[in-house]
Structure 1
Amino acid sequence: METRLTIVTELAGAEVSGLIFGHFAEHLGRSIYGGIWLGRGSEGADEKGYNARVKELLRDLGPEVLRWPGGCFGDQYHWEEGVGKNRRVRRNIWWGGYELHEFGTDEFLGYCEEIGAEPYICLNLGTGTVREALDWMEYVLGERPLSYAERRAENGREEPYKVRYWGLGNETWGCGGNMRPEYYADLVRQYSNFIKATFPDVKLVAVGHTTDWNRRFVASLLERPARIDALSVHQYTGAKEDWDEEDYRRCFGSRARKERQISEAWGLITALPGKLKLVVDEWGVWYDTARRENGLLQRGHLKDALSAASDLHLYMRHADKIEMANIAQTVNVLHSVVLAEGPKAKPTPTYFVFKMLKGHKGGRLLPVVPEGERKWPVGEYLYPLPDVVATVKGNEISTSLLNPSEEDIKVELSLSGGDMGSAEAVALVGSDLQAEDVELVPAEVSLEDGRAKLKLGPASLTMVRIERR
């Protein structure tokens, strides 16, 4: 059976923000030390101490945003211990071991500039103060003769950094302080009041959680408002590393829960003044084998790359609501895009999903009307086969087609408003779902009477680029 998909080119919708293809790096396991950072003079490090191979891979990927320093770690992080020459050693209370503070604010922001990522800093609301947050922001954004701007210059950086996004804590309902939403709302009012008075152009992201938490938080802000720009949610997918068929399908069935959380959070924040957006601060597959004892290390497989494609499709479809999404995490931790061991590093299958789907960046969403679409039962949810996102930029239409099933799918693509001048496609494939090594291979596309025909292999992601006449 052939699935016919009509791309409605006359109804271009929301623009897909590049920030949806964001990343997250926490001081945890070998994410920073032994991942992004090796230290000056170490084998495989560049002249600044960054892991040269990891930096090369990330620069080539072009991460749109990098969130740091946490995560749970962020609410025990005191920024002044990580700048200048005299750096303090402190226990990492959440993830074990010691924090040496070799990789601090200047190293992080310098790294973002080197790999082309927009920095996103999570402020410490758990053990920090408003004064500490303002001092940190002055160090990053301030100009001379401000004292912390002078200190930054003494540490080697004359010009202010460019940081738009600042998070108001992390998981304040849990590791970030075990707070009630009403108490957290008071803190958000306090912090945002002073921050926006001092740095009016920054964007502040408040912590969200369950629908009940969000409802109580928003209700408190309706009584007395705060100056925030976005509300965050976290969307992890629990799974077994040694997946069985049921667990594999459940991973894709989790979309129903995630979409419901997005829709309910959006419905709540639209009651607040201003044009707030949602930020998915952390998302990805979290294996049962990833624990504190092993630094939350998990291998990358084709199966979780396909799950990442499914989640990114979801976030792109809600581009009118979601301003940013950051996969957890970047290197060596959870659903990473790079695995590193000393000076050696390699991309995971999910790395190539980002490389492919970033073709949608800056495009406007187009509706896709299916005929003969199959449904894949995943628990109580019927997953569409294929799962499709189409965007348009100028005369180019990018269409990504995800087939997580075990069967081939024949697809015919057509445009409602015009003919196709040309079409080419590339597919992400692997030997099996457990494959750690994958390939991007050309996919055969035939044009017949202004329509594109192709076959989607099992467990594959395909990107089709169409030039319209």
Structure 2
Amino acid sequence: MNHIKRAVLTLCLVASGAVLAAPVGVTIDTTKPGPVINKNIYGQFAEHLGTGIYEGIWVGPKSKIPNVNGWRKDVVGALKAMHVPLVRWPGGCFADEYHWRDGIGAREKRPVKVNTNWGGVEENNAVGTHEFFELAEQLGAETYVNGNLGTGSAQEMSEWVEYMTSDSKSTLAELRRKNGRDKPFKVDYFAIGNEAWGCGGNMSPQHYANLYKNVETFLRAPPQYRPKMIASGGNDHDLTWTETLSKELKKQTYGISFHYYTIPTGQWEVKGMATGFKEDQWFSTLSNTIKMDGFIKNNTAVMDKYDPEKKLGFLVDEWGTWYDVEKGTNAGFLFQQNTLRDAVVAALNFNIFHDHADRVRMTNIAQMVNVLQAMIITDKDKMVLTPTYHAFQMYVPFQDATSLPLKLTNNPQYSYNGSSIPEISASAARAKDGKLYLALVNTNPTKEAEIAVDVPGQAIKSVNGRVLTSAAMDTHNSFQSPEAIKPAPFSATAGADGKLTVKIPAKAVIVVAVE
């Protein structure tokens, strides 16, 4: 009789919809370690654009804002706490109009130019080669210098590389010493041009490949100072760039760049709002950002044909959200607010990059301060950390960690208006500290999820880390409320049955160490 009563009760619960859904299964295989997640997947990008450099992080050595050799102490300190591994500079579209000699020598004597790409404002060249490397050294970060192919020449880039890297007594090396730097700079990466298909010259892939081979021939440096060369690749709608460059340049380049920006509407003319959006644009933004996985798969499949040894890297050196600019700001400065949605976008992309760590060896979010999906927003002497900053900091354990195979089962779909995306995204790795880390993202803005974590052959006692979430989809930090959203401690322990389940809130990012 008791069995009948239980069966009837179960049927009633099913009929009423009260039966709890089975948890999402996350199974981590620690016996088959994958490729190392290159720390430079967490790279940054600082372009001469709006207040991304000037005012945002560079204030000059005479500023009343506390600084070290012109770079703001508060911003640099926050970036160091985020473990920035790499910075790309000076652009972007700006790079193909930048002439390096304008940015050396006494600052008061440097020429003033017009930044025709971004806002038509005056560029006084106060931040040049020496200042950039000063910033990188303060951060302890590697350097990625973008050369000028658009309005420059092989000679100009060759002389810049010599100026930066020569340990000889050449005229250019002596000029560097005269300008205050005795030892060569450490240039880790050097790109020949940027977006050659667009703002970098409107070239065809074959024309660019020919120019690349010509320029690369003359970029000479002492072996211990020679940078890894990067080719300017394509974007989300054209595989011919990857095909041509993989075939033509595989012996002459470290990797091929790729750019993709997440736009809520998918339309450049009206992109969507950074705040005040509804669930339709929450969903469309996440739906558009996870297209990154398909773009990487399609491009790396092409690379595999010409480079089966996987010597070439696929470098996503511009990515992030791009919204309509904030009202009342210069449209050419690309300033937008940064919300919980941006943190979720960042984490989804991190998990995708981890899945392709065999090819994706560098990415550079656009951009570091005050521009697009920024880590930090400043106004004069004020500074605020964004939700994206917190996502990057939470994922620090994944830098140079060894990726681990992860299987998701019973993963429901988050559906909206007839379309669907996976509700849960996950990634796991063995960090350099020896610990096993798990990252989880819940894309659903209205529903928490229960995750059953399993590591075969290993008893799990607990997970401990941090969670980033908030009540509103567009929660953001401001100068009035600088900590409206920030990570909170998170932990869960195994039950008496030895099984561990994690409840991840709606619209949340979690990173935990699995003990």
TM-score, normalised to structure 2's length? 0.86
Counterpart-to-counterpart distance in 2, 1:363 and 1:380: 38
Question: 1:16 maps to which residue?
Answer: 37
Match of 1:48 among 69, 81, 100: 69
Counterpart-to-counterpart distance in 1, 2:56 and 2:452: 43
Kindly report which structure 2 residues correspond to 1:50-449, keeping only aligned pairs within 5 A, or say none: 50-85=71-106, 86-95=109-118, 96-195=120-219, 201-210=226-235, 213-215=238-240, 218-219=243-244, 222=247, 227-239=252-264, 240-241=272-273, 242-272=276-306, 275-289=311-325, 293=331, 295-377=333-415, 382-393=420-431, 395-405=434-444, 406-436=446-476, 437-448=484-495, 449=497
Counterpart-to-counterpart distance in 2, 1:64 and 1:416: 33
How far did 1:380 drift?
7.9
Matched to 1:174, the amino acid is G
Matched to 2:190, the amino acid is W
How far did 1:226 drift?
5.9
Alpha-carbon displacement from aligned partner over 1:415-457 (angstroms, at most 9, x marks no partner): 1122225431311122311111312111230212443222111
- CA distance 1:327–1:225, shift in 2 (3 Å): closer
In structure 2, runs of 5+ residues without a counterpart are 1-20, 265-271, 477-483
> What secondary structure does 1:430 align onto?
coil
- CA distance 1:73–1:216, shift in 2 (3 Å): closer
- CA distance 1:42–1:227, shift in 2 (3 Å): same
Alpha-carbon displacement from aligned partner over 1:60-93 (angstroms, at most 9, x marks no partner): 1111110000010000000010011131111111
How far did 1:301 drift?
0.8
Whether 1:453 and 2:504 are equivalent positions in the alignment is no
Counterpart-to-counterpart distance in 2, 1:229 and 1:65: 16
- CA distance 1:138–1:334, shift in 2 (3 Å): same
Matched to 1:94, the amino acid is N
How far did 1:297 drift?
0.4
Contact 1:337–1:347 (CA under 8 A) maintained in structure 2: yes
In structure 1, runs of 5+ residues without a counterpart are none
- CA distance 1:47–1:66, shift in 2 (3 Å): closer
> What secondary structure does 1:195 align onto?
coil
Counterpart-to-counterpart distance in 2, 1:388 and 1:68: 31
Alpha-carbon displacement from aligned partner over 1:42-64 (angstroms, at most 9, x marks no partner): 12141411122111111111111
- The higher-RCO structure (CA 8 Å, 6+ apart) is 1
Aligned residues: 467
Contact 1:426–1:441 (CA under 8 A) maintained in structure 2: yes
C-alpha root-mean-square deviation of aligned residues, in Å?
2.1
- CA distance 1:431–1:263, shift in 2 (3 Å): same
Q: Using the aligned pairs only, state the percent identity.
A: 31
Alpha-carbon displacement from aligned partner over 1:304-348 (angstroms, at most 9, x marks no partner): 111111111111111111010110000000000000111211110
Question: 2:9 maps to which residue?
Answer: none
How far did 1:219 drift?
3.6
How far did 1:268 drift?
2.2
Alpha-carbon displacement from aligned partner over 1:269-295 (angstroms, at most 9, x marks no partner): 234457101100100000023686251
Bigger Rg, structure 1 or 2: 2
Contact 1:236–1:286 (CA under 8 A) maintained in structure 2: yes
Counterpart-to-counterpart distance in 1, 2:237 and 2:389: 35
- CA distance 1:362–1:226, shift in 2 (3 Å): closer
Contact 1:76–1:124 (CA under 8 A) maintained in structure 2: yes
Counterpart-to-counterpart distance in 1, 2:280 and 2:98: 40
